[in-house]
């Protein structure tokens, strides 16, 4: 079995080992989405799922798909350590924390943002610059620290100003650090604006892939990454306004001699 095929099969089998999933069409041709509910959603090639079903590694019933006993045996034969290693891409990164910059080890395969950042543009430059990646990871970190839970509706985060101050699960249960993180998230989202906030929350905080975002929002294929980059650029200016001004090219307004004085007449 080729390495790429083995990796694709292990990815699907590892996801289904934790429970069955529902198949949904993806925005890109030849691909499908495996929706595991609370476990998240992954994309896979339709040919991969078809080949695994032909080998009885998975079984499909309508829109549902589940791992078979043969599929579990296949996963065990590959070795759990080997499987996990397929999905680890460790790297040292510096992230912003309330205490300042801190070096941490991150798994690039975990975050869709990290995977998007490694893509190249036609001119060979990274699709996302360092400031944009830092901004997305900072939003994700504050979202996690703030203990913000997804809601079933457009109001994805309860306003701090309108939050309950008493009772179990209210604002009184939050630590000062968690409350401060929520406030930073709200300020960041307000700075980005309602047109761009959704894709930031989906990718940076809910860790959704671009294919899933396009499918859920009815966007054309390969459009989500453009909207995401625009949103991250605005978010980066919010987090690092001084750097944003420094990066802005200086414009020459007028050529003049040392003793030049502008005319006061029109």
pLDDT digits over 32-91, tens only?
Answer: 999 888 778 888 899 999 999 999 999 988 889 999 988 888 887 775 444 444 444 444
Residues 228 and 101 in one domain: yes
Share the mean pLDDT of the chain: 76
- Residue 65, pLDDT score: 92
Domain shared by 211 and 96, yes or no: yes
| CATH number of the domain residue 24 falls in | 1.10.10
Q: Quick check: 262 pLDDT over 90?
A: no
pLDDT at 83: 43
Domain presence at residue 187: yes
Question: CA–CA separation, 221 vs 140, rounded Å?
Answer: 25
**Number of structural domains in the chain:** 2
Higher pLDDT, 236 or 97: 236
Domain hosting residue 126, numbered range: 92-246
Question: Are 119 and 229 in a shared domain?
Answer: yes
**Burial class of residue 224 (count of CB atoms within 10 Å of its CB; 0-12, 13-18, 19+):** buried
* Residue 79 included in any domain: yes
- Alpha-helix residue ranges (DSSP H) falling in the chain: 3-17, 46-54, 69-78, 80-86, 112-117, 130-145, 176-192, 194-200, 210-217, 224-239, 241-247
119 and 222 share one domain: yes
Where is pLDDT greater, at 112 or 144?
Answer: 144
**pLDDT: which is higher, 205 or 168:** 205
183 and 165 belong to one structural domain:
yes
pLDDT, tens digit (0-9, with 9 covering 90-100), for 3-28:
778 888 888 988 898 888 999 888 77
Contacts of 219 (CB under 8 A, 6+ apart): 27, 213, 227
The mean per-residue pLDDT over the stretch 145-168 comes to: 49
Determine, yes or no, domain membership for 232.
Answer: yes
Lowest-pLDDT range, 14-18, 82-86, 128-132, 147-151? 82-86
Residue ending a domain, choose from 54, 86, 118: 86
175 and 156: one domain? yes
81 and 98 housed in the same domain: no
Considering the domain architecture, whether residues 42 and 109 belong to the same structural domain is answered as no
Q: Does 81 share its domain with 125?
A: no
- Say if 263 falls within a structural domain: no
Query: Which pLDDT does position 192 carry in this prediction?
Result: 94
Does residue 235 lie in a domain region? yes
Same structural domain, 138 and 54? no
């Amino acid at each position: 079995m080729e390495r790429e095929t083995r990796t694709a099969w292990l990815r699907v089998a590892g996801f289904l080992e934790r429970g069955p999933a529902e198949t949904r069409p993806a925005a890109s041709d030849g691909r499908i989405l495996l929706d595991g509910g609370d476990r998240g959603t992954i994309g896979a090639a339709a040919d991969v799922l078809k080949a695994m079903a032909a080998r009885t590694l998975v079984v499909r019933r309508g829109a549902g798909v589940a791992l078979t006993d043969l599929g579990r045996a296949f996963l065990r034969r590959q070795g759990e350590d080997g499987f996990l290693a397929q999905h680890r891409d460790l790297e040292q990164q510096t992230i912003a924390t309330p205490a300042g910059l801190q070096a941490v080890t991150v798994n690039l395969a975990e975050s869709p943002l990290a995977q998007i950042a490694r893509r190249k543009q036609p001119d060979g430059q990274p699709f996302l610059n360092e400031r944009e990646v830092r901004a997305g990871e900072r939003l994700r970190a504050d979202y996690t620290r703030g203990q913000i839970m997804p809601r079933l509706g457009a109001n994805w985060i309860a306003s701090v100003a309108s939050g309950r101050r008493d009772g179990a699960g209210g604002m009184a249960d939050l630590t000062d650090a968690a409350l401060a993180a929520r406030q930073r998230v709200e300020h960041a989202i307000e700075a980005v604006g309602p047109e761009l906030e959704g894709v930031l929350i989906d990718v940076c905080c809910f860790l959704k892939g671009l294919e899933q975002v396009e499918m859920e929002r009815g966007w054309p294929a390969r459009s989500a990454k453009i909207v995401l980059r625009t949103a991250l650029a605005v978010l980066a200016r919010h987090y690092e306004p001084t750097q944003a001004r420094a990066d802005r090219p200086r414009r020459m307004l007028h050529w003049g001699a040392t003793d030049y004085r502008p005319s006061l007449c029109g």
